[in-house]
Amino acid sequence: MTGTPKKVYLDYNATSPIINEIADLYSNGELFFGNPSSIHFAGRHSRSLVNSCRRSLAKFLSAKEENIFFTSGATEANALIINGIVSSGTVESVLCTSIEHPSVLDNVPSKNHLKVLPNGQIDLENLEHVLQKYSSRVLVSLMFANNETGIIQPIKETADLVHKYNGLIFSDAAQAFGRLSFDINSLGLDFISISAHKFGGPQGVGALISREIVDFNPLYAGGGQERFKRAGTENTQGILGLKIALEKLPKYYNSEEIDKLRIRFEEKLLQKRPDAVIFGDGIERLPNTTCIALPGISSETQVIRLDLEGYAVSAGSACSSGKISPSHVLLSMGVDDKIAKCAIRVSMGPETKWEELEGFLEIWSNF
């Protein structure tokens, strides 16, 4: 009789395990926060915690404190800037690439979806052609690194091109933040969004960060929180968790070591299954992400069989109600539909061990 298989988590791009210091904070039974808008001692204490996180995040990104707006995560932040900047009249329209996260794609008309090259990066020549058609300012949304393939976009080059035509650029940086070192000023990014749960923080908290003061409307009315841009009582517990995760990042996430692990993993993978396809091979990617297809074996079959063996991986975005369908990212890259239907994503984290990856390969290579 076989026992329960060991659980191995390889889905860090969906969410990362909360770091121990935050888990301890949440489980000690002594958490009490006042409303940050209240003027009494409990409210003032909560306000100081929120503001301390704002300061830490501003310093981390070389941004300004007053340009940081806390949200429930990147999905809300994405909707906030995309819808709010159009309704305010600051821009005429929003453009985005066809490989964006659904929280961006679903907020931008399909006619405004931009082409990407077969390597998964934005087609800058096509972008310039599109920008030339607009007489008014537009916002271009380009994710920093793709959540499915890990492919990193040419952010600086795109920002320079967008600014050449007096446009603004926004980047969903949920996957890149904490895994790649950057600041919004040197890259010329006008806005970015982040989610705490992608880098060891709690779920349900994130932020929209603006490089300069640019007018945009809130998604809804109801309060003056976050300088009237995001109504509702701030999630003080979540924001404090974000701050702790931010402080622990240098020790928690070693990109160089994880990158070495991924490279070794991919080399071994191709040795065992030469017929496998690694998407983005040869292109700069996130240190932790491998998107692979095993021709003839559907994504769903792979995910289920691996789950039964105790391995957690995914197929496509985790924000798709559990549906497994051909990746819109891979299809946008021109990948054949039959191959796209056989793709899964392995995303590693600080806790991932080589022995776990070896175990994965032993099972997966025999499919």
Residues 6+ apart with CB under 8 A from 7: 310, 312
Burial pattern 21-51, b for ≥16 Cβ within 10 A else e, equals ebeebeeeeeeebbebeeeeeebebbbebbe
Gyration radius from the chain CA atoms: 21
Q: Rounded to an integer, what is the distance from CA 5 to the centroid of its chain?
A: 30
Rounded Cα distance between 58 and 189, Å, is: 14
Of the residues 53, 96, 319, 342, only one is catalytic, namely 319
319 noted as active-site residue:
yes
Q: Are strands 168-172 and 138-141 parallel, antiparallel or unpaired?
A: parallel
Q: Which residues are catalytic?
A: 319
